[in-house]
A and B are shown apart, each in its own frame.
Chain A
């Protein structure tokens, strides 16, 4: 009865550029601030990431959303797996996105979600920085030189002149590859940091995209005016920085208190909703002030929302329809 468009990762790649993704992310943040986006807290299926059973060292998150400015709805089902997946040399993230027409419920598209996840995660940081970091130039400290490190850099370079990147990865090989891959993207120089401290203290903006559980970023490393983005699934910075930062800004209050950087302190009752200064959406929508005084240190956590995925996927579908790209299938 209805046709569903099918888009592979290769096709999605050709359809959306980082510029498109940043634009979609900014409008969707604004919609979140304005209240025209519906984004329930994601529901996780623990396949051994933290649970003892089953033993697969993975998880899947269900992230449904409705986006007002696109009048589009859908879900991303995405997860990360170590274990068998890593052994097979497959990328950490696995994901598909489904889009429906919210008016009548038909499925409009099924597409790869891994590429969109990586791109929008970068774009979220870049959009947050647009409203939090004064001026066009910045020095970036980057922890994690993998796929996410690449897309974070690509997104930030789209909106800023990156004077310096100080990259640190536990694998020096990964850092070298990053430096090679990103040399045309980064406007200034790329320095492979010898120590984590060097990467953090040389920068105004520190982005962490690692799977570390070590709380390795020290409170003392972030200088006045500095902004830390701990994007990993676990806590990447010391408790002290979370407790001492002048402002905490998140993308989704419910999610950020139960996953990632704030989880432990939130569960211990040391961080509550009251400690959160604003959401990125409120700042983009102009409801809360963006850049703070230059003496203030900011903790910004765009942990990732389904809203961003559905927004970008909807743009990809729109372009695919215009250009006649992708397969088509009648499921019912």
Chain B
């Protein structure tokens, strides 16, 4: 029995962002309907927690089953804080797929590009149901790194974006981003000096930074704005989290213990009942998304294995069709 090996480069050639967005939306619907199984990820502490190991790193194991694709798999992925200094990639990840009917391993593939693609697509799908101006939205983007690029690409694929307003603590990064992404996406991108300027007149804020200083202040976010804080740490002021009209997440268990909600959740100021619903419930039509043009909505698609397995399955099936990849007989 062989499994198909697929490289990062091949994945990039096999799936388009439009296909990824479509698949991610279907999987959100499955999550809302109950046909997706996505256990809470398990963490292996290699020094980013209490283990005492010296590596400033950790790995997440994210298994999932996707009903509409009849596919199962796992992503094993982590980040190495010290890697960029050494000229090495921050993220390292791999995805395994099995046939859920008989447990045969179908594919082993790179997991980093799939992560970037699905992370962008998750935001784009959520915004389809939550943004106050779906025709020509203005989007503020915090963080002009690799994640910022796939976020912009996904949002520009799903919407006719009027303008991106990008802010990064490194102004140089914003400038390069604007030049590169304007050419790639054909959308005007303005470099902003301050986060509060970027959000003025924007319909949504997408934040992909490593910030821990809660720089997204309550007063910055006006009526009708949707805020998506995607960073692993703390990007939003507590007052903002506690005063928005709706908090919508992708996975209740995961979002309460990681990222934007962690502090307010651990201090008991925010409990599960304060969450309005999941993106899945909104996409499946079980809960309404945006109900008026004034609501301030906080949306946190922190990332689930379900999305990774979805996109990986798409890549695998296309690879089979096109004869891409290499077979290896593990058994």
Contacts and interface: CB of A to CB of B under 8 A. Distances in A.
A40 B44 contact: yes
Nearest to B50: A38
Nearest to A42: B42
Contacts of A88: 102
B146 interface: no
B42 A85 contact: no
A119 B43 CA distance: 26
Nearest to B74: A77
A290 interface: no
A321 interface: no
Interface stretch (B62-70, B152-160, B178-186, B242-250): B62-70
A8 B1 CA distance: 10
B61 A96 contact: no
B101 A332 contact: no
A88 B57 CA distance: 41
A241 to B, nearest CB: 31
A327 B59 contact: no
Chain B contact-residue range equals 35 or more
A220 interface: no
Contact of B94 (A45, A114, A331): A331
A100 B89 CA distance: 14
Contacts of A327: 328
Interface stretch (B20-28, B108-116, B120-128, B188-196): B108-116
Nearest to B1: A90
A66 interface: yes
Given A73-B59, A111-B330, A105 B80 contact: yes
The list of the 5 closest CB pairs from A to B, nearest first, reads: A105-B92, A94-B103, A85-B102, A64-B44, A62-B61
A102 B74 contact: no
A274 interface: no
Nearest to B8: A332
Given A38-B46, A43-B39, A64-B76, A104 B63 contact: no
Contacts of A103: 55
B57 A102 contact: yes
Contacts of A65: 44
Interface residues of A, number: 54
Interface of A: 1, 6-9, 38, 40-47, 51, 53-54, 56, 58, 60, 62, 64-66, 73, 75, 77, 79-81, 83-85, 88, 90, 94, 96, 98, 100, 102-107, 110-112, 114, 327, 329-332
B330 A54 contact: no
A96 B105 contact: yes
Given A60-B72, A81-B102, A104-B80, A8 B331 contact: yes
Contacts, number: 171
Interface string B20-40: 000000000000001101011
A73 B45 CA distance: 10
Given A41-B42, A43-B40, A79-B103, A62 B331 contact: no
Nearest to B86: A104
Contacts of A105: 57, 59, 78-80, 83, 88, 91-92
B122 to A, nearest CB: 21
B104 A90 contact: yes
B161 to A, nearest CB: 30
B200 interface: no
Given A75-B76, A106-B92, A54 B100 contact: yes
A103 B83 CA distance: 9
B14 interface: no
A102 B331 contact: no
Contacts of A96: 3, 96, 105, 108, 330
Nearest to A92: B103
A47 B326 contact: no
A332 B65 CA distance: 25
Contacts of B55: 102-103
Contacts of B92: 100, 104-107
29 contacts: A1-B89, A38-B45, A40-B42, A43-B40, A44-B39, A45-B63, A45-B74, A47-B100, A56-B100, A56-B101, A62-B63, A62-B74, A64-B42, A64-B44, A64-B59, A66-B46, A73-B59, A75-B59, A77-B74, A90-B102, A96-B96, A100-B78, A105-B92, A114-B331, A327-B328, A329-B7, A331-B5, A332-B7, A332-B8
B53 interface: yes
A77 B96 contact: yes
A90 B202 CA distance: 57
Contact of A8 (B43, B46, B330): B330
Contacts of A53: 34-35, 67
B72 A45 contact: yes
B53 A38 contact: yes
A110 B4 CA distance: 12
Given A45-B72, A64-B44, 15 more contacts: A38-B51, A51-B37, A58-B102, A62-B42, A62-B74, A64-B76, A66-B53, A77-B63, A77-B74, A77-B96, A94-B105, A104-B80, A110-B94, A332-B7, A332-B89
A105 B60 CA distance: 12
Interface in B258-303: none
A168 B55 CA distance: 49
A13 B130 CA distance: 54
Given A46-B37, A47-B65, A94 B80 contact: no
A8 B329 CA distance: 6
A160 B55 CA distance: 40
Contacts of B64: 45
B219 to A, nearest CB: 40
A94 B44 contact: no
Contact of B112 (A81, A329, A332): A332
B76 A40 contact: no
Given A73-B44, A75-B59, A104-B88, A329 B326 contact: yes
